[in-house]
């Protein structure tokens, strides 16, 4: 390991004043409570890695890729508007938010920014069945300015390891976002990351925006259509769905970024253009997308992917017109 990296890790640890332990030398800004079990640490590291796949797909500025399509779908049609002062302000902060997200998953984090993860909900702050977490941010004045970002992981988060795979899906099904909205730990991890104020999001994500566990596609799609960028740009799941759509669009090279089933099923609205993206996103492991498609080793998707499609296709309809 290079000397500069060792020094960077040591320097980051000096800013940990809670007695937490580093989760990994590759994640020097993240600390977990000492009682966190080895298994839970493994799950957290896997979730972080796979959330990074989504984040990198969203922020890599890959040449030739039409990012504007997914952005319009889930961040609203004014995501890059310069029509007036407020529109320019929002557009600027969306760009900065995406830059900060990319920096975080590339470990380009200021030493004054520290993330704490609790593996147990000791004070019972999580609601029954909640799979996300409880995240808070504050500036700690311990002899120097420092931002801390704390997430309490709800118990059900650690049951999200099981994933499913596509088997015999029609190409149509790859465009349907509902096939990907089933809870998985990478998406839940990214949801909490978007609530890290200043480190990732500015202005801060709305506090009342919790992880949506049912009907997430329609809710976020409708929010982008009805309330547009003004609300979407401070909503965690708007960014998360945007990242997921880009990741799938790039990896499976679908004709459009995944959208709600009702949109894909009918004639596409005029604002949706069909444009197959460049070759698959390259940061995922070898044979990853073949496994997702069901063309390779079926177990590979279960081992590697954080994407959990519906386990069974929708029922076939019988043509009774003849």
pLDDT tens for 93-133 read 999 999 999 999 998 988 788 999 999 998 898 888 888 88
Give per-residue pLDDT as tens, 224-253: 999 999 999 999 999 999 999 998 888 888
Is residue 210 a part of any domain in this protein?
yes
Is residue 92 a part of any domain in this protein?
yes
pLDDT of 182: 60
Is residue 104 a part of any domain in this protein?
yes
Q: CATH number for the domain including 258?
A: 3.40.390.10
Q: What is the mean pLDDT of the chain?
A: 78
**Residue with the two structure tokens 């003004």:** 230
**Do the bridges between strand 133-139 and strand 147-153 make them parallel or antiparallel, or are there none, so unpaired?**
antiparallel
User: What is the value of pTM for the model shown?
Assistant: 0.82
Domain ranges, residue 51: 15-304
Exposure letters 181-211 (e unless 16+ CB within 10 A, then b): bbbbbbbbbbbbbbbbbebbbeeebeeebeb
**317 has a pLDDT exceeding 70:** no
Pick the residue with more confidence: 219 or 286? 219
Residue 274 CB coordination number (10 Å): 9
Is residue 166 a part of any domain in this protein?
yes
Total domains present in the chain: 1
Is residue 1 a part of any domain in this protein?
no
Euclidean distance between the first and the last CA atom of the chain, given in angstroms as a whole number: 70
Which backbone phi and psi does 237 adopt, to 5 degrees?
Answer: -70, -20
Helices (H), 214-297: 216-226, 228-232, 236-252, 261-265, 288-293
Is residue 192 a part of any domain in this protein?
yes
Is residue 282 a part of any domain in this protein?
yes
Is residue 9 a part of any domain in this protein?
no
């Amino acid at each position: 390991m290079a000397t500069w990296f060792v020094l960077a890790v040591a320097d980051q640890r000096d800013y940990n004043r809670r007695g937490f332990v580093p989760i990994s030398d590759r994640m020097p800004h993240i600390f977990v409570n000492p009682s966190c079990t080895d298994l839970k640490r493994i799950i957290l590291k896997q979730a972080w890695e796979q959330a990074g796949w989504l984040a990198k797909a969203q922020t890599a500025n890959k040449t030739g890729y039409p990012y504007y399509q997914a952005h319009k779908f889930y961040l609203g049609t004014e995501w890059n508007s310069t029509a007036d002062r407020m529109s320019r302000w929002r557009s600027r902060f969306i760009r900065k938010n995406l830059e900060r997200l990319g920096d975080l998953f590339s470990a380009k984090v200021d030493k004054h920014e520290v993330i704490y993860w609790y593996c147990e909900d000791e004070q019972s702050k999580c609601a029954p069945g909640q799979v996300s977490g409880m995240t808070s941010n504050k500036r700690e004045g311990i002899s120097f300015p420092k931002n801390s970002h704390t997430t309490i992981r709800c118990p059900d988060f650690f049951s999200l390891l099981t994933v499913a795979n596509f088997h015999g899906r029609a190409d149509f099904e790859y465009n349907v976002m509902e096939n990907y909205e089933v809870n998985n730990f990478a998406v839940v991890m990214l949801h909490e990351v978007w609530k890290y104020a200043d480190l990732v999001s500015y202005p801060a994500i709305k506090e009342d925006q919790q992880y949506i566990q049912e009907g997430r596609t329609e809710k976020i799609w409708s929010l982008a259509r009805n309330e547009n960028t003004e609300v979407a740009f401070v909503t965690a799941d708007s960014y998360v769905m945007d990242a997921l759509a880009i990741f799938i669009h790039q990896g499976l090279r679908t004709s459009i970024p995944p959208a709600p089933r009702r949109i894909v099923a009918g004639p596409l609205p005029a604002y949706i253009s069909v444009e197959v993206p460049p070759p698959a996103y390259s940061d995922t492991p070898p044979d990853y997308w073949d496994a997702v498609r069901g063309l390779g080793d079926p177990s590979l998707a279960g081992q590697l992917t954080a994407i959990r499609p519906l386990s069974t296709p929708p029922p076939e309809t019988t043509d009774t017109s003849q």
